[in-house]
Structure 1
């Protein structure tokens, strides 16, 4: 079974509305408070949940209470950069998924703010979204989705709102520039709900565009619970975010994914893992390296049967993660391969490089589907000595592949056959290494002889067709 969540936000989305909906859906407030305390923020943060009524509808309101609220003698937290926030989150002993999601949300925010101001994302000064309450909103939301065991998040189209809002840069039109940029980056479907005011905050927009796999109608699922999170506004309709949670079997989930919804492009969402609600998993800019168009998956980590992915073809978006290190023991690299493939990497490769101060090092490159990118990124951060990871999204053309058995005098070798786009005509074929190796060992013959014989026999059979 797969656990799905749908965010219904007719009056918008914000960080505190997400927290309220999650607590309403069953996430213990004490659980959130305990983990927020582990962020080691300079201020003491207290979460408070209460039941409120919005146009007669009961919903949960979660407030993030800080010591400087109402006290002029308590200094406000400093304006933070991305690296400050990354350090706060990455060093905390939180569930791995919550860390990866939180970091991905703030990186998306930095990209949006950097694009607006025309500066590098690392140089962005976070104002409202770098404040302590925004950090708590984002990390708390990620903790909540992890606790609920959400495998996939869907979201309704986002309402725009009208009017202006006061921000650090003065009064700004609604949607605020950062919100509008986040919507553009994710190609989010939007609409005018006829409501005045800021409906979607930068925090809410970043959460939705980073974690949602698609925007549109609710997914097909067996509905199990509803969480209602209250906002701060008084509107003609209840200012409530509704979180629908349900389950679906894998076949139904696949059909739901093909429904008439608008998918985010390019996707950057992390990949949740299916686990029980109370179980949690264990815890820069040289030229980019383009993905080879015909790159085959790493053989030693790939199934011997034709997978559903191999049987498909076309252009797709993949995420490329890379970092270089000059102080990593080569003994770790083999272990790193295993960890990355277990985390869902499509491929991993390492290149020797010469780094600054003439130090020999390694360039580590990981190719992953966007949903698995955040998990792979966390593996690089925790299993290597690197202090940062670069991320790019690239488009690659994947040829359809099939494994075709070929009978040789000594046994059967499977040929990995690739086909031209939109064609059933084979373009190239290559014998499976492990099949050739097994036959070579069994019959005490050179591996190369088995390999070459397979290529010759395959070529002869194709020529006779």
Structure 2
């Protein structure tokens, strides 16, 4: 069964929030640690813990950087303070104070890192896709190309760890589809390596514009959607629409580090859609112009007894304006040889067309209903709800049961049929 993930980004999205939510959803921590240990990147460790956010117990994924690689990504004073230069990253060495140079990696270096890491093919492709989305957005912002841009956000150690971790966790959870309807974003300004920028920052704006992602502005100050978070959504999202109804199978909560008005919580929800079953069946067709009605009636009986799902005839005109019948048989693939043998044996056709088709089938169950005339078999079909309305059940009395009760009681077909339906609805309060 395909696995569908719904990311609820009411408080925005970032790389560490996504990893935490996926871990809380059940991604294997040991698998993740093994993959990260294989990265040819130094200067980091990870910490996975539980924290409280608005009274809720959520998972926290923290990339611990050494002094050389610290980038103030979670330093609120640095990000939104007035005197930014007080927070420039420095260290003392040999009696003097020096700025730490940040490594400016490009796509070539990123590909080399991913190639050397011990990743599954799917995790590798997902990580590369996220990096590419982010790199294209940074390249557009700086007026250069994907291969030439040397970006800070993508090249930073914590961003590399976050992106690889998301790819590994999605692969480990075996996620097939990802639904993200909208991203909630704040406003104001934020301090980064390029200076003071408006929120959404250019990289985020470029990503949502290029990939048609809906953005809802909260009117609150703060960067709720980071470039890494936006790139993750753009790279892994397969739909922006939730099904009309669904079942929540499991929920993961990931906490963010920044303290804003909205609690930094990302909900990752595994959902199962309540939908009509898709069934692959086969349709056999033959045009017949020289068989009697009695002959064709007998053919239908034999085909149904042999396992055909349905058999019907349609009036057609063949070549030379000959009136004829088209025999249509609906069946499973396993039944084809037996049903074809019957058609060739019992009719004058010399050829059978075969087509594989899909049909939507409502979920069905069977039950019995006791009425005054006796017991009747009924078929119950589940009709999915829409627009917030719950699903409904329909009751269909089985033909053979209705006929048997009609003959025993002397009542009409409609009288028995309606009585069965009425009793079933009364017993089930429908």
TM bucket, shorter chain = 0.5 to 0.7
CA contact (8 A) 1:154 1:212 kept: yes
Q: Does residue 64 of structure 2 align to residue 65 of structure 1?
A: yes
Alignment of 1:40 with 2:65, yes or no, is: no
Secondary structure of 1:31's counterpart equals helix
Separation in structure 1 between the aligned mates of residue 5 and residue 244 of structure 2, nearest angstrom: 8
Counterpart for residue 101 of structure 1: 126
The alignment partner of 2:63 has SS state of strand
Task: Tell me if the contact between 2:222 and 2:260 (Cα under 8 Å) persists in the aligned partners.
Answer: no
Match of 1:195 in 2: 220
Kept in 2, the 8 Å contact 1:154–1:219? The answer is no
Where in structure 2 are the equivalents of 1:161-240 lying within 5 Å?
A: 161-217=186-242, 220-240=245-265
Residue aligned with 2:47, SS: strand
Q: Distance in 2 between matches of 1:179 and 1:220?
A: 31
CA contact (8 A) 1:220 1:252 kept: no
Describe how 1:340-359 pairs up with structure 2 within 5 A: none
TM-score by length of 1: 0.52
Q: How many residues align?
A: 264
CA contact (8 A) 1:82 1:126 kept: no
For 1:122, what is the secondary structure of its paired residue? coil
- Determine the C-alpha separation between the residues in 2 that align with 1:195 and 1:246: 30
1:3-402 maps to which residues of 2 (within 5 A)? 3-41=3-41, 43-68=42-67, 72=91, 78-217=103-242, 220-248=245-273
Report the alpha carbon displacement of residue 251 of structure 1 after superposing the two structures with TM: 5.0
CA distance in 2 between counterparts of 1:131 and 1:20 reads 19
**1:156: Cα distance to partner?**
3.0
| Aligned partner of residue 219 in structure 2, secondary structure | coil
Inter-CA distance 173–34: structure 2 relative to 1 (3 Å threshold): same
Question: What whole-Å deviation, never above 9, does each CA across 1:391-425 have from its counterpart, x for those lacking one?
Answer: xxxxxxxxxxxxxxxxxxxx979899xxxxxxxxx
CA distance in 2, matches of 1:415, 1:222: 37
User: How big is each residue's C-alpha offset from its partner over 1:187-216, in whole Å with a ceiling of 9 and x where there is no partner?
Assistant: 111111232100100000000011001224
What are structure 1's unaligned runs of at least 5 residues?
255-304, 307-410, 417-465
Give the structure with higher Rg (CA): 2
8 Å CA contact retained: 2:185, 2:218: yes
Q: Give distance in 1, aligned partners of 2:32 and 2:48.
A: 11
Q: CA RMSD in A?
A: 3.0
Task: Give the corresponding residue for 1:315.
Answer: none
Is the Cα–Cα contact under 8 Å of residues 226 and 244 in structure 1 kept in the other structure?
yes
Distance 1:73 1:224, change over 3 A: farther
TM-score by length of 2: 0.56
Tell me the residue number matched to 1:338. none
Compared CA separation, residues 80 and 250, structure 1 to 2 (3 A): farther
Say which SS state the counterpart of residue 114 (structure 2) adopts: helix
| TM-fit CA distance, 1:55 | 1.6
Give the deviation of 1:219 after TM superposition: 6.8
Question: What is the CA–CA distance in structure 1 between the aligned matches of 2:188 and 2:225, rounded to whole Å?
Answer: 12
Q: Are the structure 2 counterparts of residues 83 and 219 from structure 1 closer, same or farther at C-alpha, using a change threshold of 3 Å?
A: farther
With over 3 angstroms needed to count, the CA separation of the structure-2 counterparts of 1:252 and 1:143, relative to structure 1, is farther
CA contact (8 A) 1:152 1:213 kept: yes
